[in-house]
Amino acid sequence: MSRAVGMLLVGAAVGAALGCRRAPAPAQEPANLCLEIDAPTAPVGFDAAFSIAARVTCPGRGRGRITWRQVAGVSLRALAIADDGFSLTARTPTLAQARPGPLPWGVIPLSPRTRGEATLEALWNDGRGHELRREVPIASAPRARGLSNTAVGTRLYLGGEGWHLISGPPGSAATLDLEPRPASLLPDVTGDYRLADARGRELVLRAARYDETPLDCGRSGCHAAIADAAAGSPMTTVLARGLGAVAGSSSPAFGPGYPGCALACHATGDPGLPDGGYTHVAKEMGVAADHPARWEELPRPLRRLGGVGCLACHGPAALPPEAARARVLRADVCAVCHDAPPRYGHVVAWQETGMAHADREPRTRSDRTCARCHTTSGFLASIDARADRRSPDDAEPIGITCAACHAVHAHETAGPPGALLRTPAAPSLLAAITADPRSSVDPRSSVCLPCHTPNPEALLPSASAAALWLGRGGLDPASGQPLIGAAVHARAVGGCVACHRAGPEGLARGAGHGFAAPPTTCTPCHAQALPPSDLATRARRLWETWRQVAGTSAVGSAPAHASDLRLDGSAPAHASDLRLDRGTPLGRAAWDLLLVIEDPGAAAHNAPYARALLAAAEPAIAQAARIGASRR
Amino acid sequence: MRWTVCAVLTALACRGPRPPAPAARESPAPQPFSCVADRCVQRHPRMPDDGEWTCTDQAGAMICVGGERAAGVAPAAADPAWTCGARRGTPSDLLGSRICVDPSPDLPVGERADWRCRIVADPPARRICDRDPATWKLGAGCGALHPCAEGSDCVAERCALRRRTPDCWFDTDCPGRHCQFGSCEATRP
């Protein structure tokens, strides 16, 4: 691990090295320049000792003393302060402390939250009322997307056992560091590094500098359409906009202090590392990376690295091996910037949702019907009809990740500017109502509808929340005609996220990715607390009756194993092997019951419609029961 | 290797409208060289724009072929120091369909005619200039007894690139003629 120690002079430079803990601030007041701090500018490693030295340089200032406190990040260990605070030593956290839980096989993804980042605050006081305050960020490891494409000069940590380096590119002197665990590798030259674990499973790492990787992804026959769409994407243009790309602008569009520490996420590369990224190349060219300059005034190499371009997410170097490509769908790729609580809490909030664990059961990944809504690759394949980008069979579950809902390559999508929400076609059941301008269904809901609306051709209704919300999906048991109800909440501004917008507390941004809908979301319109709903209880009671009726062979409208479907919470109803016969009143009644049962939020989404479904099912079940009794 | 592919006309036809190009700007400041003895290396040589280019130095002029737009990069105006044109015909190679010439590329200190430069495309990509006052280059002194090479004219007793819209990379781009300084010349010297 590089242990280069540099002189950090201004707060912006410190922040640029490791990313923003808070919003970019105006440049440090000149007085703070008097407090010079020597601290590691590059990651120091997990469970590694480091030291910081400070000195006051301005004439006329007494020596005073410095008090230190950790203001962010994982707790540093063995913190020792000496020489009136002018000397500090400590030890970074272990990987297990920084990133609890099992490690994935291969390149371990590391975000600002999990890479053992900590921020120390130095407060100098001369005892006569003069104070200087500085923040000093420390990191254990570089951020990592978890992909096999990586930058040279960026140490990677490997999950798995028994790693050994089979071969490296010509001229490489890189060796695999097995201690301290986990194993790590610091690619030093461009090329492929072939590794294998104890079982012989191979991993090919592709390394290059960012600035030496061609940006020809958009050539014809490759990704021309994506490149065109991405040209105007808010990700692509973030630095250009922030610097004020508009001719005649005299100040940065994102305000004073920009880009400062924002460079870690508004440009390509990891500040502080010799990776050919924006700050590295700026240093090579003698350009102050964090100095505000208009986009047009930047040298070409910096413009090619400015913004969140292709390489910022996909990594540098040649195309990854086929088996490694699906990894780019992991939330870990986005986490290198969007997992930095408390300011960026998108990933933390998302991890609390069911979507984050949607493909935990192996069947949800292997069964294509399930994969459509339980895996990111399956969902993407279902909405754009492209080739199925199914993960390799041995891939670990990744959940429904950012890329399922966000079209990161696009520039015109639904929702608020920059949200990049996908707008897939509405499912057939909801096509009419979503296309009807009188219904005013917010387009931001589009991305939720495909997986929260049952397929009317399916054997069982599944995930029916959106269908109930819009009063669709039910069948009249007697006639088989659609049961259409009022969509009482269809006009909610934001659609689904009008209510499903809560998440963990204390996050400045991204908490809404928890998608929770606490009762308080109802109070703006329903001042009186809603009475407890008996819908779920009623639905389950009716289902028990239906089971008894259907289990009577005399009825003949359902297979014998229908009675096996027990709603004990161990699995959703739609995961059972039950096949409803919607050609019979009893089968259609069951369909209506399961629509309600499949939606735990039925009472909130559309209680009148849910009641109507139960009311329609009840007489059909009763009649079937009577017929069955009379035949006996 | 930095292969570039699509012809501009093809690109325009199949890609739809591009974002509006920003206004023209001044040529950016020279990029630094690092020198050891008589060799100077420019780590980030200038290019016509932010796109993908394959370049060469020819007797003191820098000539590039390519023009593939850089993917995932916000638009910016082209460098006005370059003169660009469409490559003749329909090239069968993958190098690209635009040709650009910079008659006055960045140089290390000293006289222009003192340096002979070349582009190294393999990583790390760079431009290497060796001190070589003996070889003829643009900027060399000229007169009745010292004519300039084809494609250049004697202006104020110095050989200067003839101002033309460049249109070739290989001689094969110029049927019956040959390519000199990025332009088809009628006769061989």
| pLDDT single digits (tens) A483-510 | 999 998 998 889 999 999 999 999 999 9
CA distance A371 to A374: 5
Same domain, residue pair A12 and A107: yes
Average pLDDT, chain B: 83
Least confident of A47-51, A198-202, A335-339, B89-93: B89-93
Q: Which residues are within 8 A (CB) of A369 and not within 5 positions of it... i.e. 6 or more apart?
A: none
CA distance A157 to A155: 7
Q: Which residues from chain B sit within 8 angstroms of residue A208, using beta carbons?
A: 123
CA distance A183 to A499: 45
User: Using one digit for the tens of pLDDT, what is the confidence trace for A595-610?
Assistant: 999 999 999 999 999 9
Which range scores top for mean pLDDT: A144-158, A237-251, B115-129? A144-158
Out of A208, A237, A258, pick the residue that ends a domain.
A208
Least confident of A25-39, A403-417, A478-492, A504-518: A25-39
* Inter-chain touch A297–B28, beta carbons under 8 Å: yes
User: Using one digit for the tens of pLDDT, what is the confidence trace for B23-49?
Assistant: 445 566 677 899 999 999 999 999 999
Amino acid at A33: L
Tokens of B6: 């699509």
Whether residue A457 lies inside any domain: the answer is: no
Q: Report CA dihedral (A213, A215, A217, A219) to the nearest 10 degrees.
A: -130
Quick one: average pLDDT of A560-584? 69
Interface test with A, best of B53, B64, B73 (most A CBs within 10 A): B73
Same domain, residue pair A270 and A346: no
Name the residue of chain B whose CA is nearest to A295's CA: B76
Three-state SS at A196: strand
Least confident of A2-16, A156-170, A575-589, B51-65: A2-16
A96 pLDDT higher than 50: yes
Name the residue of chain B whose CA is nearest to A189's CA: B123
CA-closest candidate to residue A182, choices A215, A201, A160, A198? A160
Three-state SS at B70: coil
* A216, A281, A306 ranked by CB distance to B4: nearest: A216
Q: What is the pLDDT of residue A32?
A: 62
Query: A193, A172 in Cβ contact below 8 A?
Result: yes
Q: Is B10 on the interface with A (CB under 8 A)?
A: yes
Same domain, residue pair A296 and A443: no
Q: Which residues from chain B sit within 8 angstroms of residue A307, using beta carbons?
A: 72-74
Query: A533, A603 in Cβ contact below 8 A?
Result: yes
Same domain, residue pair A244 and A276: yes
A389: confidence class by pLDDT, cuts 50, 70, 90 = low
Q: A139 forms bridges with which residues in the sheet?
A: none
Whether residue A322 lies inside any domain: the answer is: no
B16: confidence class by pLDDT, cuts 50, 70, 90 = very low
For residues A557 and A13, the model is more confident at A557
Same domain, residue pair A170 and A282: no
- Number of separate domains in chain A: 5
Q: Is A208 on the interface with B (CB under 8 A)?
A: yes
Query: B122, A191 in Cβ contact below 8 A?
Result: no
Whether residue A54 lies inside any domain: the answer is: yes
State how beta strands A202-208 and A149-151 pair. Answer: parallel
Interface test with B, best of A209, A215, A223, A285 (most B CBs within 10 A): A215
Q: Is B31 on the interface with A (CB under 8 A)?
A: yes
A68 pLDDT higher than 60: yes
DSSP string, B72-123: T----PPPTT-EEEEPSS--SSSS-SEEEEESS----SS-GGGEEEEEE-SS
User: Using one digit for the tens of pLDDT, what is the confidence trace for A177-219?
Assistant: 998 889 999 999 999 999 999 999 999 999 999 999 999 999 8
Same domain, residue pair A132 and A187: no
CA-closest candidate to residue A465, choices A609, A566, A621, A617? A609
Rounded to a whole number of angstroms, the distance from the CA of B8 to the nearest CA of chain A is 10
Query: A577, A460 in Cβ contact below 8 A?
Result: no
Q: What is the pLDDT of residue A202?
A: 95
Same domain, residue pair A117 and A251: no
Q: Is A387 exposed, middle or buried (0-12, 13-18, 19+ CB in 10 A)?
A: exposed
Name the residue of chain B whose CA is nearest to A296's CA: B76
Same domain, residue pair A603 and A626: yes
Q: What is the pLDDT of residue B36?
A: 93
Cβ–Cβ pairs < 8 A, chains A and B: 126
Same domain, residue pair A216 and A341: no
Q: Is A314 on the interface with B (CB under 8 A)?
A: no
Q: Is the peptide bond before A531 cis (omega within 30 degrees of 0)?
A: no
Q: Which residues from chain A sit within 8 angstroms of residue B46, using beta carbons?
A: 300
A11 pLDDT higher than 80: no
Domain of residue A129: give its range. 5-138
A298 pLDDT higher than 60: yes
A248: confidence class by pLDDT, cuts 50, 70, 90 = low
Q: Is B47 on the interface with A (CB under 8 A)?
A: yes
Quick one: average pLDDT of A238-246? 84
A250: confidence class by pLDDT, cuts 50, 70, 90 = low
CA distance A608 to A606: 6
Quick one: average pLDDT of A239-253? 74
B5: confidence class by pLDDT, cuts 50, 70, 90 = very low
pTM above 0.95, yes or no: no
User: Using one digit for the tens of pLDDT, what is the confidence trace for B43-79?
Assistant: 999 999 999 999 999 999 999 999 999 999 999 999 9
Interface test with B, best of A220, A275, A281, A291 (most B CBs within 10 A): A220
B22 pLDDT higher than 60: no
Tokens of A47: 């469970």
User: Using one digit for the tens of pLDDT, what is the confidence trace for B88-97?
Assistant: 988 888 899 9
Whether residue A53 lies inside any domain: the answer is: yes
Same domain, residue pair A473 and A499: no
For residues A291 and B74, the model is more confident at B74
Whether residue A33 lies inside any domain: the answer is: yes
Whether residue A523 lies inside any domain: the answer is: no
Same domain, residue pair A266 and A376: no
Same domain, residue pair A248 and A160: no
Average pLDDT, chain A: 87
Quick one: average pLDDT of B157-167? 94
ipTM over 0.85: no
Whether residue A463 lies inside any domain: the answer is: no
Q: What is the pLDDT of residue A20?
A: 64
Domain chopping of chain B, boundaries: 33-68+79-185
Quick one: average pLDDT of A138-158? 97
Q: Which residues are within 8 A (CB) of B95 and not within 5 positions of it... i.e. 6 or more apart?
A: B3, B4, B54, B65, B66, B169
CA-closest candidate to residue A130, choices A46, A42, A20, A34? A34
